[in-house]
Amino acid sequence: MYVFWWFFAYYLRPIVKWFLRKTTGLCELQRICYGKVQGAPRTKAVDYSLCMSKSPQIAQLIAHLNDVSDNQRFVGSNLKELTNGAVNTVMLVKKINPKIHFQFVINFGQCVEQIWGYRQLLAEVEELRKTVYDADNFGHERKLQDLWEKLMPHERLEGRVTKQWQYIGFQGDDPKTDFRGMGLLGLENLLAFASDYQDAATYVLSHSHHPHYGYAFAIVGINLTSLAWTLLKQGDAKTYFFNMVKSAPSLKLFHQFYSYLFYEFDKYWIECKPKDIMEFSTIKDNFEINVRNALQDPNAVFRINFSVDTI
């Protein structure tokens, strides 16, 4: 199967492209931008087409945009300037008349924003993941305090190091040790879930205290940060981000993705009726498979629609 795909990509595909250009008068990027549904179907196809291009100018363009987004400079006025530059370069290379194909300018521009906005988001998320939680950093400590106050608004924290942290699912008396794997990103995700979806977060927290199906809320949350980051890094999450916004995805959207995963995992965990916490790895692996399968559908949209029930 791989050999056939390689043969098609490098030998048959250029012939098919040439034939379609001659018969339709449109290049592949135009056919995608006019024929594919907005969102993941269109943007993924544009991304693939650009990566497969043999044009030196387009290869140079991609390298430049990669460098800019990797260094988190694909923002503000720079984003608009780079997007317009990318559109102009492609129209020049592909000999596209912007006066006739003005819709292509709009559609392709949106794809450029999404593709390199996603790459920049990955760089931003990776930077947070590599940032070690520092107990001497006031900002880090304030966020940890905020997490407690959002989840436990009616109970005062007795001290910085206390067994109370175990109530919201940390392993010991000092939460900082639990952030080693995912760094500050783990805390940022938990805080975003507790802040932006406070009712849902406290509802999930109540499930974590269930007498039969209970689990460590914060530790599970950090494990789900690892899942969200992996899906982002491996590209599976492109379906979610490209279908959610027409422009460059933001860190806030990543937090929404995480919040969705946390809420859905909690629901799946309860549905599985685990005998004990030792089943966590198996259930988490199955949950990941389900999420990956759902993301394979380019039209999939994950709606955050939290509802409360009783168990």
Whether residue 102 is found in the same domain as residue 40: yes
The letter for the amino acid at 103 is: Q
Domain extent at residue 291: 138-295
Q: Give the pLDDT of the chain (311 residues) as one tens digit per residue.
A: 554 545 445 555 565 554 445 455 589 999 999 999 999 999 999 999 999 999 999 999 999 999 999 999 999 999 999 999 999 999 999 999 988 889 999 999 999 999 999 999 999 999 999 999 999 999 999 999 999 999 999 999 999 999 999 999 999 999 999 999 999 999 999 999 999 999 999 999 999 999 999 999 999 999 999 999 999 999 999 999 999 999 999 999 999 999 999 999 999 999 999 999 999 999 999 999 999 999 999 999 998 776 655 44
Neighbours of 268 (CB within 10 A): 15
Choose one of 111, 130, 149: the last residue of a domain: 130
Neighbours of 181 (CB within 10 A): 12
Neighbours of 166 (CB within 10 A): 15
CA atoms within 13 A on the CB side of 196: 18
CB-CB contact of 131 with 184 (8 Å): yes
Q: Which residue has the tokens 């205290």?
A: 209
**307 assigned to some structural domain:** no
Q: What's the predicted TM-score (pTM) here?
A: 0.91
Number of domains making up the chain? 2
Whether residue 222 is found in the same domain as residue 83: no
Whether residue 219 is found in the same domain as residue 148: yes
DSSP SS3 for 131: coil
Whether residue 42 is found in the same domain as residue 184: no
pLDDT in tens, 54-74: 999 999 999 999 999 999 999
**168 assigned to some structural domain:** yes
DSSP SS3 for 246: coil
Neighbours of 26 (CB within 10 A): 18
Length of the chain: 311
pLDDT score of 24: 59
CA atoms within 13 A on the CB side of 234: 10
